[in-house]
Amino acid sequence: MQLVSIDGRIRALDGPIDAPGTGAIDLAALTGLPSGACRFLGAHGVEAARDKIGRATDIMPIAGVQFDPPIPKPQMIWAVGLNYREHAAEVGRDVPTAPTLFSKSPGTLIGHEVPIVIPPHVAQPDYEGEVAVVIGRLARDVSERDALDYVAGVTCAHDVSSRDHQFTTGQFTWSKSFDTFCPLGPVLVTIDEVDVSDLPIETRLNGEVVQSSNTRELVFSIPTLVSWISQGTTLLPGDLILTGTPSGVGAGRTPPRWLLDGDVVEITVGGVGTLRNRVVRSAG
């Protein structure tokens, strides 16, 4: 199932996102469950919708519709640094022996085709394409074996980063938490439709491939990350885990390649789709 959020209501697509005539089914109207993505997932909404989806009548055309992030208001965004070996090497760091965690503000989230706005004080904005995991039900102290039972699905994410602030202060969270610095989407694909251990990921900058890898190359797998983070920490439905970026980031190039006004960044995850956002340099 492909889930989207439009005007604060969670919906399921009845066809490919880019196909003419595809519509979005209002899952709250269909099931009688809450319309917000986090509460819908927490009420086991995906399971409830599957039994009724064929009888849906409240379907809106999506042509020309603006998508919100699939999870517009999560309580928490966890992110993982240096989780691809080649990325650790390109930035001169050792491969970690335990997950390197930081957080991003939920206020960073924007949807598909919404501009990334670079503040005037950011001189070195960088791209990081990632696979994002969405938690589907309350999880605490879960095992790696059972971890995927707590995952609703996956989507595409862009961990936009201000390298000048990150490298000067050493503070990952602040330098990656400016408004619009976490595009997400366009759809959330439920866990039953993807193999999270074998997801190709590609980032394109103005059409040029700058990152290309696969979740097979993760240092810490998605089940490992879910289990690790849940140890003593309660994950709630809708919480996000950004699983790390492959090599090829702007900071790892010679010379460095920073995002410029008018750049278009596309992040494609196999079996999920393509997240596309234009870069806008704020005038200040």
- Residue 120's CB: how many other CB atoms inside 10 A? 9
Predicted confidence at residue 87, as pLDDT, reads: 87
Tokens 């009845």 label which residue?
Answer: 14
Contacts of 119 (CB under 8 A, 6+ apart): 178, 282, 284
Q: What is the pLDDT of residues 105-118, one digit of tens each?
A: 999 999 999 999 99
Cα-based torsion angle of the residue sequence 169, 128, 262, 134 in order, rounded to the nearest 10 degrees: -110
Q: What is the pLDDT of residues 189-217, one digit of tens each?
A: 999 999 999 999 999 999 999 999 999 99
Predicted confidence at residue 172, as pLDDT, reads: 84
Sign for the pseudo-dihedral over CA of 276, 217, 101, 270: positive
Q: What is the pLDDT of residues 21-75, one digit of tens each?
A: 999 999 999 999 999 999 999 999 999 999 899 889 889 999 999 999 999 999 9
- In this prediction the pTM is 0.96
